[in-house]
Amino acid sequence: MDDFPKTEANYAPLTPVQFLRRAAAVHGRKTAIVHGELRRSYAEFGARARALASALRKAGIRRGDRVSVMLPNIPEMLEAHFGVPGAGAVLNAVNTRLDPAAVAFIVSHAESRILIVDREYEAAMRAASEARPDLIVIMVEDDAGGASGSDYERFLETGDPGEDFLDPLDEWDSIALNYTSGTTGDPKGVLYHHRGACLNAFGNAMTFGLSTETSYLWTLPMFHCNGWSYPWAVTAAGGTHVCLRRIEPRKVFDLIAEERVTHLCAAPVVLTMLQHAPASDRRSFVHGPVRIATGGAAPPSAVIDGMERLGFSVTHLYGMTECFGPSTVCVPQEDWADLPLSERAALMARQGVNLVTLAEQTVLDAEDRPVPADGRTLGELCLRGNTVMKGYFRNPKATAETLRGGKLRTGDLAVLHPDGYVEIKDRAKDVIITGGENVSSLEVEEILYRHPAVMEAAVVARPDPKWGETPCAFVTLKPGIENVDAAEVIAFCRGHLAGFKIPRSVVFGDLPKTSTGKIRKYVLRERARELDATAAS
Ligand code: ADP
């Protein structure tokens, strides 16, 4: 009964590279990529990515070799997502905001053979070349598509667009190497397999409703978990990629209107930025609902609420680099539609349930037992399935620790609600412990965001001789508002939070953020530690 062999007829390794092979054939004349004035069809996108794969092989790249790229969200970055794995190589997309030393560390740790880099990051490129003298550097000049004559264009000319992509020998072969931000030591290199990349692209395409009608705006950096797998997902669907080199609210609104954008992804801080953009930067759109997926940090319900009021339909995703980006989604239930927006937004601010392509999500207590579904008991969110990383490159110890007991340990503390939805209360390292009680910084932030004058807020622990730690709030007020003081913010919290959770100190000003849209809490923790009694109220 079960002695059928796998043959070429009935078994092909899963890989997202296949999506472009198919899209180029099926949607050949359709616009695949928009970048400023430039429009490229799927036939052209396919030909250029194949030329890249072929050129890489001619330059000596062999299966498993690493190719680093440091590029904004421009067409070359999309080409790399197919051309590099299509040459059998592993794509190492480097965070474009990193300083030269961090880039040099990554390119050396990854043992990259080639670096494809935008002219804007020349300083990082120089540091990488010094750290790895044999590194071949290919410079990209982006002038919104008219980039003839660059290193990259000359390099493509050495390749043969008629040569097909290589398929992986095994779907477990590595496709990408993505470094974590390394806030707690050197960055770790997360290795992805073709199988997971393919499945996570399917899971996301399905969750977010992508189709041939999709016009996808690239607000999310493609270097972040391979753009949450959307370079592959949008191509699988045969949608259109709308490139965006740099996020400016005005540009985002213009592109949404002009390119009839249907879908975009962005971290919550970008949503806040769009909501509070000056009226002169905003544009209304009438071409239908615009779906925006957010994640990467917890979106306060006030932010979801505000986006829906602007006419966006919000999808809330959760994930981390170690699981190819988005892995859970807050699936809206039918009866939520009848709820008042603020109540619906509160339900949607939860991280939700596993994507259809993730085997399991559980919340485990300190003894590795599932917590009760009571919405109260805190445990660690753990994930399991085909969209979990292979491990950390050249770091068996951290790999074993993070994947121990057959689960990906996320380091996020969550509760399980009676309806089976998880809600993250904090990253383990961000919890505030005051007088022996745990305070979830996200819970306090959720309340602060509801204050009508507050645009952004982050709460961290401030050392305290009596309580150990107390909550310290850092707050940015909405543009034009100045007459709100700490006492008022604290009084507002008193109406919504238990006494020990109320911030003891409130500091006003801009919040430091990472390039992937997270508030840099460790920077704020340092600031809180250094606050003297007079600076905080
Ligand atoms: P880094 O670890 O470098 O910050 P990641 O993108 O891997 O980069 O970060 C993953 C973390 O981001 C998660 O472990 C979680 O703490 C946080 N996160 C991501 N999405 C959400 C979300 N929807 N809600 C709350 N936290 C989130």
Write out pLDDT tens, residues 321-352: 999 999 999 999 999 999 999 999 999 999 99
- For residue 319, how far is its CA from the centre of ligand 1 (angstroms)? 6
534: pLDDT strictly greater than 60: no
Residue 332 to residues 50, 327, 339, 497, 536: CA-CA distances in angstroms?
Answer: 40, 16, 11, 27, 41
Q: Strand 379-384 relative to strand 408-416: parallel, antiparallel, unpaired?
A: antiparallel
Would you give the distance in Å from CA 431 to the centre of its chain? 22
Q: Name the pLDDT band for 524 (thresholds 50, 70, 90).
A: very high
Tell the residue nearest (CA) to atom 9 of ligand 1.
320
Same domain, 170 and 38: yes
Kindly state if the Cβ of 236 falls inside 6 Å of ligand 1.
no
Kindly state if the Cβ of 321 falls inside 6 Å of ligand 1.
yes
Write out pLDDT tens, residues 425-478: 999 999 999 999 999 999 999 999 999 999 999 999 999 999 999 999 999 999
Structural domain tally of the chain?
Answer: 3
Write out pLDDT tens, residues 353-399: 999 999 999 999 999 999 999 999 999 999 999 999 999 999 999 99
Same domain, 531 and 422: no
Q: Is 125 exposed, middle or buried (0-12, 13-18, 19+ CB in 10 A)?
A: buried
Residue 349 to residues 145, 179, 329, 458: CA-CA distances in angstroms?
Answer: 39, 27, 10, 16
Pocket test for ligand 1, best of 97, 318, 520 (most atoms within 8 A of CB): 318
Tell the residue nearest (CA) to atom 5 of ligand 1.
320
Atom of ligand 1 nearest to the CA of 181: 3
146: pLDDT strictly greater than 70: no
- Window from 181-185, 405-409, 506-510 with minimum mean pLDDT: 181-185
Q: Which residues contact 308 (CB under 8 A, 6 or more apart)?
A: 314, 341, 345
Kindly state if the Cβ of 181 falls inside 6 Å of ligand 1.
yes
Residue 240 included in any domain? yes
Q: Name the pLDDT band for 537 (thresholds 50, 70, 90).
A: very low
For 280, the 3-state DSSP assignment is helix
Kindly state if the Cβ of 424 falls inside 6 Å of ligand 1.
yes
Contact assessment for residue 319 and residue 355, using Cβ atoms and an 8 Å cutoff: no
User: E strand or H helix at 146, and its extent?
Assistant: none
Kindly state if the Cβ of 410 falls inside 6 Å of ligand 1.
yes
- For residue 388, how far is its CA from the centre of ligand 1 (angstroms)? 15
- For residue 414, how far is its CA from the centre of ligand 1 (angstroms)? 13
Atom of ligand 1 nearest to the CA of 442: 25
Same domain, 423 and 438: no
Same domain, 452 and 494: yes
Q: Give the span between the Cα atoms of 502 and 405, in whole angstroms.
A: 37
User: E strand or H helix at 161, and its extent?
Assistant: none
Write out pLDDT tens, residues 478-498: 999 988 999 999 999 999 999
Same domain, 199 and 50: yes
Same domain, 396 and 470: no
Pocket test for ligand 1, best of 191, 412, 440 (most atoms within 8 A of CB): 412
Q: Give the span between the Cα atoms of 474 and 457, in whole angstroms.
A: 6
Residue 502 included in any domain? yes
As a whole-number percent, the residues of the chain with pLDDT over 90 amount to 92
Would you give the distance in Å from CA 71 to the centre of its chain? 16
Kindly state if the Cβ of 426 falls inside 6 Å of ligand 1.
no
The residue ranges of DSSP E strands in 339-450, in sequence order, are: 353-354, 360-364, 379-384, 391-392, 408-416, 422-427, 432-434, 437-439
Tell the residue nearest (CA) to atom 25 of ligand 1.
298
123: pLDDT strictly greater than 90: yes
Kindly state if the Cβ of 318 falls inside 6 Å of ligand 1.
yes
Tell the residue nearest (CA) to atom 16 of ligand 1.
427
Atom of ligand 1 nearest to the CA of 316: 23
Q: Give the span between the Cα atoms of 66 and 61, in whole angstroms.
A: 8
535: pLDDT strictly greater than 90: no
pLDDT value of residue 390: 98
- Structural domain span for residue 415: 357-427
Residue 287 included in any domain? no
Q: Is 445 exposed, middle or buried (0-12, 13-18, 19+ CB in 10 A)?
A: buried
Q: Give the span between the Cα atoms of 332 and 239, in whole angstroms.
A: 24
**pTM for the full model?**
0.95
Same domain, 36 and 159: yes
Tell the residue nearest (CA) to atom 24 of ligand 1.
298
Kindly state if the Cβ of 440 falls inside 6 Å of ligand 1.
no
Kindly state if the Cβ of 298 falls inside 6 Å of ligand 1.
yes
- Choose between 176 and 429: higher pLDDT: 176
pLDDT value of residue 288: 84
Averaged pLDDT for residues 192-219: 98
Nearest to 225 by CA among 192, 202, 264: 192
405: pLDDT strictly greater than 90: yes
CATH code, 366: 2.30.38.10
- For residue 516, how far is its CA from the centre of ligand 1 (angstroms)? 10
DSSP per-residue string spanning 242-279: E-BSS--HHHHHHHHHHTT--EEEE-HHHHHHHHTS-G
- For residue 402, how far is its CA from the centre of ligand 1 (angstroms)? 15
Residue 313 included in any domain? no
Write out pLDDT tens, residues 266-315: 999 999 999 999 999 999 888 888 999 999 999 999 999 999 999 999 99
Which of 182, 213, 246 finishes a domain?
246
- For residue 298, how far is its CA from the centre of ligand 1 (angstroms)? 8
Q: Name the pLDDT band for 58 (thresholds 50, 70, 90).
A: very high
Pocket test for ligand 1, best of 424, 443, 513 (most atoms within 8 A of CB): 424
Nearest to 210 by CA among 124, 153, 154, 293: 293
Residue 70 included in any domain? yes
Kindly state if the Cβ of 446 falls inside 6 Å of ligand 1.
no
Averaged pLDDT for residues 189-207: 98
pLDDT value of residue 181: 78
- For residue 285, how far is its CA from the centre of ligand 1 (angstroms)? 31
- Window from 154-158, 179-183, 204-208 with minimum mean pLDDT: 179-183
Tell the residue nearest (CA) to atom 11 of ligand 1.
320
Which of 382, 400, 427 finishes a domain?
427
Which of 215, 246, 277 finishes a domain?
246
Residue 526 included in any domain? yes
Atom of ligand 1 nearest to the CA of 294: 23
Nearest to 118 by CA among 141, 151, 143: 141
Contact assessment for residue 413 and residue 425, using Cβ atoms and an 8 Å cutoff: yes
CATH code, 85: 3.40.50.12780
Kindly state if the Cβ of 296 falls inside 6 Å of ligand 1.
yes
pLDDT value of residue 148: 65
Q: Name the pLDDT band for 183 (thresholds 50, 70, 90).
A: low
Residue 343 included in any domain? no
Same domain, 131 and 45: yes
Pocket test for ligand 1, best of 320, 383, 409 (most atoms within 8 A of CB): 320
Same domain, 185 and 215: yes
Q: 383 forms bridges with which residues in the sheet?
A: 361, 408
Averaged pLDDT for residues 173-177: 98
Same domain, 421 and 466: no
pLDDT value of residue 2: 81
Residue 190 to residues 66, 87, 393, 472, 514: CA-CA distances in angstroms?
Answer: 13, 20, 6, 33, 19
- For residue 382, how far is its CA from the centre of ligand 1 (angstroms)? 13
Tell the residue nearest (CA) to atom 19 of ligand 1.
296
Q: Name the pLDDT band for 143 (thresholds 50, 70, 90).
A: confident
Atom of ligand 1 nearest to the CA of 183: 3
As a whole-number percent, the residues of the chain with pLDDT over 70 amount to 97
Same domain, 409 and 437: no
Residue 291 included in any domain? no
pLDDT value of residue 536: 47
Nearest to 222 by CA among 213, 234, 238, 210: 234
Rounded CA Rg of the chain: 23
Q: Give the span between the Cα atoms of 411 and 10, in whole angstroms.
A: 39
Same domain, 103 and 225: yes
